[in-house]
Amino acid sequence: MRCTSCGGDATTDARYCQYCGGAMPLPPSSGSRAETFAQIKRSRQFEQAQTVERLDRVPKPSGAPKVLFSIFSVILAGKVAMAVGGFIGAPILFLIFFFFIFLQGPGHVDPAGMMTFAIIAVAGFLGLILLASLTLGLVVRKYSGQIFSSVFKKQDELERAPIDVLPAIAVGKRTQVWGGAGDTAAKTNYYVTFELEDGSRREYALWYGTMYGRIVEEDPVVLFARGDYAADFDLVTG
């Protein structure tokens, strides 16, 4: 039998790896699948899986993408407001400035009055841009829920999905490599198919790629499933 933590060889009856000290999975049962599932449900791992402390350690969806998207939307709204304000407000400001000079008459321009007018005009212009930025930001914030429902629909489903604690046996593994065209890096998705207690088989995407190396076919596990994902699992060692 091979240790799923370090890959070292161990005897089939070993409880712990002699190289890294990690717990060894139970050897494949020579009896029926029903006996294997009964063994899983009697195990210490299955008993601990029901505790609040263990469930709290199950990885949860991160809210960081939503926060970053919200910040990016508000910043983008501010930039749009500045661009629109500059495109519309600058000509208007120039016309008002020209009209002020025209009212003063040639040779009668008061420098102090001109400075006061310039300060008021610039402050008003900046205030207009700020008001437009805040208005667009509030609009983005109001409708962000609708944006999130389409952009982050899968993540919303995962956040609402309960954690199912299931006795399971790994029966298959596969990877899916995608991307990598041009200068972009290739990405790999990892999947494991588990046999459940009712005899059905279901493939789950692994929450983290590192989970892939911790499990081999016929490993009995306590599976923590969230939606279509295997969020975590504990190898049954007794």
pLDDT attached to residue 99: 66
pLDDT tens track for 124-170: 767 776 776 667 666 665 665 555 555 566 667 777 889 999 999 99
pLDDT attached to residue 32: 84
pLDDT attached to residue 59: 85
How many CB atoms are closer than 10 A to CB 90?
11
Rounded average pLDDT over 20-31: 60
Give yes or no for residue 42 having a pLDDT over 80.
yes
35-68 per-residue burial string, b: 16 or more CB within 10 A, e: under 16: ebbebbeebebbeebeeeebeeebeebeeeebee
Higher-confidence position of 39 and 87: 39
pLDDT attached to residue 221: 96
Q: Using CB atoms within 10 Å of the CB of residue 5, give its burial: 0 to 12 exposed, 13 to 18 middle, 19+ buried.
A: middle
Strand ranges, E, within the chain: 163-179, 186-196, 201-206, 220-226, 229-235
Give yes or no for residue 26 having a pLDDT over 80.
no
Residue 123: pLDDT band with limits 50, 70, 90: confident
pLDDT attached to residue 52: 93
pLDDT tens track for 168-220: 999 999 999 988 777 778 889 999 999 999 999 999 999 888 999 999 999 99
pLDDT tens track for 50-97: 899 999 999 887 666 566 666 666 666 666 666 666 666 666 666 666
